[in-house]
């Protein structure tokens, strides 16, 4: 096994990765923009994309010291757009870095980035709407498109965060002044409420901070050049905040997520490009404009290349038939073209490319191989598979391969890799069993395919899950087959359960039962009481499957199933349920699963992510479990959390996550299940990363208002009971011999502070002995009146006596209160942080910094409606003029009196 891993890592180093954005010299390449099929065809959208990125490239070059620019961009148009476009290679909608889609239900036309990982890590994608690209009326509020693009690019590529905070737009600074949440503090302006179209002075709450109706209006003319991540709409802003002008006090996301570091520091010292950015030399002349290629992907073309060598005999060839049957019958899209190749010592075409329509699915299923013999000649199988893919247009470019094997190659695998990469096909690989070649990992990575580990155990249903995960979307989720259930059991009697089918799915609903030896007695009951038994199911005795296709749209509600094992001894049975959207205009609830990395040497924990959403809107309160199973037999179940602590970056964003810290060498499968329960809701979560909507500007002493920001149109709604299953790409753990994977407690990221009279109340989510598992030994809590002390010299801050604090188990809520030993004056701001320690004296990173200001409110003056800003300025100007005139008169009077006195004294002498 160790030798196999070494070979795999050698191949990684030799060939590198072929996925995602690349920095080629000073230019970024392989950027993919994808347009959703819901967007009506409009060639001006393509023109505007080009214009935005071209101007963005110029702005990016300026903001990054002439070091980087945008070099190469592909624009993927939907298959339903007519016209002559280049054929897409390995570009697919779900791999896009930038998507052009209908307005978000909650954010409308606001540009934003789906940013689910930590500081310095690449994000998922940028979302722009057609209206943002085409409607110039939005530019005053957000800024020029090119500058907005760079703001979002910094989120996407470098993992920095916003330097504003719409929830906390104002704060008390350390010197007890009210400040707008901004970076840098050199951005000048005033804050007002807008009432009936007029600017009035802000009202204040009980802590004398401005009320939520108060907004900051920047001066249109500024002297500062920072910062892109605060307000790119300002003409003067051409730079990212550096440490010299960074506002470390502001309660914005950048400070909260990046330990109060400036955005420029994160980009140059912590991002994926940090090494290149520190060594790249600035360009001495202007680079060329970005190169754009408009591409299109039409019908899916896929070839199954299946290993039928001798080691596949028995249960493995049967599992192959069962899983491939579900793929051909339920998963592959209508209108796609499918071919099948088998290989062992030699290779044969089982089926040429066949369009999926009518009886084609069953015809292909009937041709699946059922016998195995010979050796494992991978290159022969791949070569013949590429020939099948070329049958439609004499090219395999952009086509899809599902390549399954359970053994090591007996031929020249290097030549196989080169030809596979050069083919232009997307190669998805399945490693079945411990002996399956590790080159499958590299082949999938090099061709933008998926690598999946599967065993032959029937109950695990892994091979069915693997084939079920090979969907390809053009962005229209209503066309996708969704796996609701994948479960198994070994029993001597009944195998029972309840499956909720929610209102977002129901079409093409299929129940597939796979049994070990003999067909069970089946009873399936719809919510209304309608019953289905084996007489209404399709039975294939050769592949040991029973299939029930629910006619029309399946009833929403709880479906009950009961399978009875008629044999006297236990036998294994599995149930797989798939379905599609109930309506073309209602996207279904979806689940996506992934790891934060696909290879680990055990030096740091990995993170499991599962996104639960409907049409980009998060589903909150779901119960999500991830199962990680190694091909060596080790397995772990993790309940994923959306609590904004530990591995979870943002609370209530529909991204559920957890650390995977018990790293043992092996190749792991990833399966995520949403377990039915009451209380899950479709939330109206605020976006975490996106350009700021500016309410207006101050120009020549007047407030110029932008159009009012549209209100959020999505309200929280009960989504009802639902169930989903998703299979993520497999990943590899290779811990060197002798290396332990003992980790410290996770960093606390959600520390909060309150003060009542003189008592401090702290709360946070408990970390664990190993990141977020177990219980820490102790907490070290410290505070200071000076932010820089707690930020840069934690050990020099004032310690708190925590002898009465008994740590809770990881993920539970911690609460602690204490009375500082020194008196705290009214108006004083205090800063707090925590470091936890485990039984081996390993310490966590210092937590986020929580701050609180002691404030004893005085009676509030009566609220007075103030005049518009122009009149305020006029009044102030007149008052100043009167004061100056009074001073002049007083000065002249004093001078005259002194003069008169001097004359008298002179005459009297």
Q: Which two tokens stand for residue 156?
A: 């996407």
- Rounded Cα–Cα distance for residues 549 and 4 (Å): 43
- Are the CB atoms for 522 and 534 separated by under 8 Å? yes
- Rounded Cα–Cα distance for residues 688 and 162 (Å): 8
- Rounded Cα–Cα distance for residues 750 and 762 (Å): 10
- Which DSSP symbol is given to 94? G
Among residues 346, 341, 340, which one has the least CA distance to residue 309?
346
Please state whether 641 falls in left (phi above 0), alpha (psi between -120 and 50) or beta.
Answer: beta
Tell me the DSSP string of 145-209: HHHHHHHHHHHHHH----S--SSS-EEE-TTS-EEES-SSTT--EEEEEEETTEEEEPPB-TTSS
- Which DSSP symbol is given to 177? -
- Rounded Cα–Cα distance for residues 788 and 798 (Å): 13
Helices (H), 405-480: 413-423, 439-446, 462-468
Which strand (E) or helix (H) includes residue 324?
Answer: helix 315-326
333 is catalytic: no
- How many Cβ atoms from other residues are within 10 Å of residue 380's Cβ? 20
- How many Cβ atoms from other residues are within 10 Å of residue 416's Cβ? 21
The residue annotated as part of the active site, out of 110, 124, 152, 516, is: 152
- List, in order, residues 6 or more apart from 20 with CB less than 8 Å away: 30, 97, 122
Beta pairing, strands 606-614 & 589-595: antiparallel
- Rounded Cα–Cα distance for residues 47 and 649 (Å): 36
Q: In what order do the strands lie in the sheet with 98-100?
A: 86-87, 291-296, 72-77, 31-35, 98-100, 125-128, 112-114
Q: How far is CA 375 from the centre of its chain?
A: 43
- Rounded Cα–Cα distance for residues 777 and 744 (Å): 11
Radius of gyration of the chain (CA): 32
Please state whether 783 falls in left (phi above 0), alpha (psi between -120 and 50) or beta.
Answer: beta
Which strand (E) or helix (H) includes residue 361?
Answer: helix 360-366
Q: Which two tokens stand for residue 410?
A: 């007996």
- Are the CB atoms for 461 and 545 separated by under 8 Å? no
- Rounded Cα–Cα distance for residues 221 and 219 (Å): 5
Among residues 823, 807, 814, 803, which one has the least CA distance to residue 755?
823
- Are the CB atoms for 638 and 581 separated by under 8 Å? no
Catalytically active residues, by annotation: 152
């Amino acid at each position: 096994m160790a030798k196999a891993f070494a070979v795999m890592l050698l191949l990684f180093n030799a060939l590198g990765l072929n996925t995602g954005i690349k920095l080629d010299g000073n230019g970024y390449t392989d950027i993919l923009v994808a347009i959703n099929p819901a967007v009506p065809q409009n060639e001006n959208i393509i023109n505007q994309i080009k214009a935005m990125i071209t101007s963005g490239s110029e702005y990016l070059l300026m903001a990054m010291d002439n070091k980087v620019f945008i070099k190469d961009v592909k624009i993927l148009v939907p298959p339903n757009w007519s016209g002559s476009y280049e054929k897409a290679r390995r570009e697919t909608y779900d791999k896009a870095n930038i998507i052009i889609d209908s307005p978000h239900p909650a954010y409308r036309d606001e540009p934003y980035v789906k940013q689910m990982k930590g500081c310095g890590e690449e994000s998922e994608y940028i979302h722009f709407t057609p209206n943002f690209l085409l409607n110039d009326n939005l530019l005053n509020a957000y800024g020029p498109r090119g500058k907005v693009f760079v703001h979002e690019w910094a989120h996407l590529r470098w993992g920095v965060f916003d330097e504003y905070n719409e929830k906390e737009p104002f704060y008390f600074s350390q010197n007890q002044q009210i400040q707008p949440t901004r970076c840098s503090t050199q951005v000048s302006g005033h804050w007002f409420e807008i009432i009936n179209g007029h600017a009035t002075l802000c009202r204040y709450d009980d802590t004398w901070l401005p009320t939520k109706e108060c907004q900051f209006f920047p001066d249109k003319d500024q002297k500062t050049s920072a910062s892109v991540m605060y307000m790119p709409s300002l003409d003067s802003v051409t730079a990212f905040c550096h440490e010299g002008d960074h506002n470390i006090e502001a309660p914005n996301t950048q400070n909260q997520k990046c330990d109060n570091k400036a955005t420029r520091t994160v980009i140059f010292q912590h991002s994926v490009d940090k090494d290149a950015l520190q060594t790249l030399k600035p360009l001495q002349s202007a680079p060329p404009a970005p190169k754009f290629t408009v591409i299109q992907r039409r019908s899916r073309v896929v070839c199954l290349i299946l290993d039928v060598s001798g080691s596949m005999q028995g249960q493995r060839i049967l599992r192959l038939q069962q899983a491939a049957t579900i793929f051909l019958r339920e998963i592959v899209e209508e209108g796609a073209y499918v071919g099948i190749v088998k290989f062992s010592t030699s290779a044969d075409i089982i089926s040429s490319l066949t369009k999926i329509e009518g009886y084609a699915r069953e015809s292909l299923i009937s041709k699946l191989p059922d016998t195995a013999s010979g050796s494992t000649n991978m290159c022969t199988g791949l070569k013949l598979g590429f020939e099948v893919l070329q049958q439609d247009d004499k090219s395999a470019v952009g086509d899809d391969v599902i390549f399954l094997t359970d053994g090591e190659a007996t031929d020249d695998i290097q030549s196989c890799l080169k030809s596979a990469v050069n083919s232009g096909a997307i190669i998805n690989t399945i490693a079945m069993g411990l002996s399956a070649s590790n080159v499958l990992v590299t082949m999938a990575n090099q061709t933008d395919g998926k690598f999946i580990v599967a065993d032959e155990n029937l109950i695990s249903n892994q091979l069915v899950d693997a084939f079920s995960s090979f969907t390809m979307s053009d962005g229209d989720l209503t066309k996708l087959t969704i796996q609701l259930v994948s479960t198994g059991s070994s029993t001597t009697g009944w195998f029972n359960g309840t499956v909720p089918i929610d209102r977002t799915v129901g079409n093409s609903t299929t129940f597939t039962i796979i049994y070990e030896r003999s067909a069970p007695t089946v009873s399936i009951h719809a919510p209304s009481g309608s019953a289905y038994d084996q007489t209404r199911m399709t039975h294939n005795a050769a592949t040991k499957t029973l299939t029930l296709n629910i006619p029309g749209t399946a009833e929403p509600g709880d479906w009950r199933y009961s399978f009875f094992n008629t044999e006297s001894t236990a036998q294994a049975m599995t149930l797989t349920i798939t379905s599609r959207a109930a309506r073309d205009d209602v996207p279904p609830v979806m689940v996506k699963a992934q790891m934060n990395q696909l290879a680990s040497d055990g030096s740091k924990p990995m993170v499991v992510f599962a996104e639960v959403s409907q049409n980009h809107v998060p589903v909150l309160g779901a119960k999500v479990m991830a199962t990680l199973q190694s091909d060596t037999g080790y397995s772990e179940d993790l309940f994923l959390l959306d609590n904004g602590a530990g591995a979870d970056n943002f609370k209530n964003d529909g991204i559920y996550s957890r650390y995977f810290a018990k790293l043992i060498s092996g190749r792991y499968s990833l399966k995520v299940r949403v377990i039915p329960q009451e209380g899950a809701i479709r939330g109206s979560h605020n976006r975490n990363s996106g350009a700021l909507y500016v309410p207006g500007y101050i120009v020549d002493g007047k407030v110029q208002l932008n159009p009012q920001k549209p209100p959020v149109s999505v309200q929280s709604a009960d989504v009802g009971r639902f169930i989903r299953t998703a299979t993520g790409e497999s990943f590899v753990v290779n811990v060197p011999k002798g290396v332990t994977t003992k980790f410290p407690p996770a960093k606390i990221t959600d520390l909060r502070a309150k003060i009542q009279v003189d008592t401090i109340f702290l709360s946070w989510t408990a970390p664990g002995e190993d990141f977020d598992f177990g219980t820490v030994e102790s907490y070290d809590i410290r505070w200071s009146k000076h932010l820089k002390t707690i930020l840069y010299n934690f050990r020099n801050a004032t310690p708190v006596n925590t002898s009465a604090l008994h740590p809770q188990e990881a993920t539970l809520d911690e609460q602690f209160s204490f009375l500082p030993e020194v008196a705290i004056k009214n108006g004083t701001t205090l800063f707090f942080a925590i470091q936890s320690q485990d039984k081996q004296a390993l310490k966590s990173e210092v937590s986020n910094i929580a701050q609180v200001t002691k404030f004893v409110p005085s009676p509030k003056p009566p609220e007075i409606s103030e005049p518009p800003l122009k009149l305020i300025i006029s009044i102030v100007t007149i008052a100043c003029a009167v004061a100056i005139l009074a001073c002049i008169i007083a000065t002249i009077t004093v001078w005259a009196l002194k003069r008169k006195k001097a004359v008298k004294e002179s005459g009297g002498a």
